[in-house]
């Protein structure tokens, strides 16, 4: 008998997860920006897409670009009843749901000190960025549990890890998303469902064109690479995180920060 050490294994290595091309992904905020970039990447893998967004014009445009199998639904993620109905109806049409990506988000008012923050604006950001993730998670995960497989990816931000001055609501909401990811990843670790987050630094999207120039400069000045990230870079990392191969990472936040992240 050989004395060679045995590899450390607690489960068989056979991959019994669904084939990548046969999967179905639900993406919030999928009509444009980062959500659309990720949707386009997954479409290239043969993944069927369900896009949730509030912008009906953008949804129609996205569906026309992504192909006839794309299902675009006008849904406000802050409404839990509307979210559950939309998800259940969509899964009824697609037959399964393997991937949930929560990319819908807003910054709220920025470039203001904390004592100047409007409570209504703060609560609106939390409803979209935090409650929205929870609503879709609660609607999607029962479908994943029935098939003993799923990939959940929440969009957080480097602002949630390190805080961006002048962005109290946004930074607080993204810190909450990171905390949510840690809890959910642990709770579902034995079910075949992984739950992770991604924490980008400044990624140039349509969202950032609405922010004050000094706010963008404040954020990019902190990036050692001295540049914004790209939507394609985000999409590539997301593709790995929600892939069948990424089966042993959960409750983790992936950085995409050009060297800014300190932990």
DSSP conformation class of 156: -
Q: Helix H segments across 202-249?
A: 213-220, 231-241
User: For the chain, how many residues are written?
Assistant: 263
Residue 149 per-residue DSSP state: -
Q: Which domains are assigned to the chain?
A: 89-256 (3.40.50.720)
Q: Which residues of the chain have a pLDDT value below 70?
A: 1-19, 21, 206-208
- pLDDT, residue 207, reads 63
CA distance 188 to 168: 30
Q: Please give the Cα distance from 74 to 53 (Å, whole number).
A: 5
Tokens coding 122: 């703060």
- What sign has the CA pseudo-torsion 98, 105, 203, 70? positive
Tens of pLDDT, residue by residue over 164-186, are: 999 999 999 999 999 999 999 99
Which pLDDT does position 24 carry in this prediction?
A: 97
Predicted confidence (pLDDT) per residue in 204-230, tens digit: 876 667 777 887 787 788 888 878 889
- For the question of residue 218 being annotated catalytic, the response is no
149, 170, 188, 218: which one is catalytic?
170
Q: Which two tokens stand for residue 217?
A: 């400069």
Residue-wise burial string across 117-140, b where 16 or more C-beta atoms lie within 10 A, e elsewhere: beeeebebbbbbbbbbbbbbbebb
């Amino acid at each position: 008998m050989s004395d060679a050490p045995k590899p450390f294994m607690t489960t068989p290595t056979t991959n019994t997860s669904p084939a990548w091309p046969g999967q179905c992904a639900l993406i919030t905020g999928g009509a444009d920006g980062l959500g659309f970039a990720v949707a386009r990447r997954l479409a290239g893998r043969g993944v069927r897409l369900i896009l949730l967004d509030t912008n009906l014009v953008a949804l129609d445009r996205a569906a026309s670009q992504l192909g006839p199998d794309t299902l675009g639904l006008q849904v406000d993620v802050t409404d839990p009843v509307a979210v559950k109905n939309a998800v259940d109806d969509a899964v009824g049409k697609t037959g399964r749901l393997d991937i949930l990506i929560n990319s819908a988000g807003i910054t709220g008012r920025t470039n203001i000190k904390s004592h100047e923050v409007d409570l209504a604006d703060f609560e609106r950001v939390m409803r979209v960025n935090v409650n929205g993730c929870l609503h879709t998670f609660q609607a999607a995960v029962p479908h994943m549990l029935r098939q003993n497989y799923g990939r959940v990816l929440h969009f957080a931000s480097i602002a949630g890890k390190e805080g961006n001055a002048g962005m109290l609501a946004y930074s607080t909401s993204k810190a909450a998303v990171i905390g949510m990811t840690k809890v959910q990843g642990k709770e579902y670790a034995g079910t075949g469902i992984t739950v992770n987050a991604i924490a980008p630094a400044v990624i140039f999207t349509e969202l950032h064109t609405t922010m004050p120039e000094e706010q963008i400069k404040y954020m990019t000045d902190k990036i050692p690479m001295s540049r914004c990230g790209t939507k394609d870079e985000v999409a590539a990392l997301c593709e790995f995180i929600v892939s069948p191969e990424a089966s042993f990472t959960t409750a983790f936040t992936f950085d995409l920060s050009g060297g800014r992240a300190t932990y």
